[in-house]
A = this chain, B = another copy of it.
């Protein structure tokens, strides 16, 4: 019985990693689609999102079955409840990748990101990619050094996010209101994407150490 339980618990962990991998692919494609007005990539992200939702539901059902059939306590119980939380964060991060792809689709064949903002968004994208990549390593290894990488990347995203807002608020920004709306949303989606990585990192840290750390949270914008 115990062996079956451990195998099931392992499966929940594997499911989380699988979802995180799909979210990574979705974000890669969504950010690519934004910078290059690539409608195929955007459509792919939008249609693939259903798979992430399906896997999250499956993981949740598996977790609830484990709670019902095994009545786990202590660290096993916290692991399962934590998995429910982490799957919700990852599913939401997948939604944000889909929102980014939807911006691409709405503006196609125009490129939504103006030239002067491309370098800043490229930096934000790189940090978000580092975050989801470190989330996968953290889920696989539970080595907390990956959590620190995630917090550091989120700190840099917050600064860049503020700088996007400062830039587009300037009088001589020169783009139309539609572009201002789009860039506000894109910056916000990317900032929130990083937040979900931070949520997962805090949860894993808590499961490993039994204590909540004081990680950086959302930007104030």
Contact = CB atoms under 8 A, between A and B. Distances in A.
Nearest to A172: B177
Chain A interface size, as a band, is: 20 to 34
A160 interface: no
A15 to B, nearest CB: 16
A1 interface: no
A115 interface: no
Contact of A184 (B64, B173, B184): B184
Contact of A85 (B88, B180, B184): B88
Contacts of A85: 84, 88
Interface string A73-88: 1100110010011001
A171 B173 CA distance: 15
Nearest to A80: B67
A64 B84 contact: no
Q: Among the interface residues A78, A165, A177, A180, which one has the most CB atoms of the partner chain B within 10 A?
A: A177
A52 to B, nearest CB: 15
Q: Quick one: copies of this chain in the complex?
A: 2
A220 interface: yes
Contact of A168 (B181, B218, B221): B181
B102 A81 contact: no
A170 B180 CA distance: 12
Given A64-B78, A68-B73, A165-B181, 6 more contacts: A64-B77, A67-B81, A81-B84, A84-B85, A184-B184, A188-B188
14 contacts: A68-B73, A68-B74, A71-B71, A84-B84, A84-B85, A168-B181, A169-B177, A169-B178, A169-B181, A177-B177, A177-B180, A180-B180, A180-B181, A185-B188
Interface of A: 64, 67-68, 71, 73-74, 77-78, 81, 84-85, 88, 95, 102, 165, 168-171, 173, 176-178, 180-181, 184-185, 188, 218, 220-221
List the 6 closest A-B pairs by CB distance, nearest first: A71-B71, A184-B184, A169-B178, A180-B180, A68-B73, A181-B184
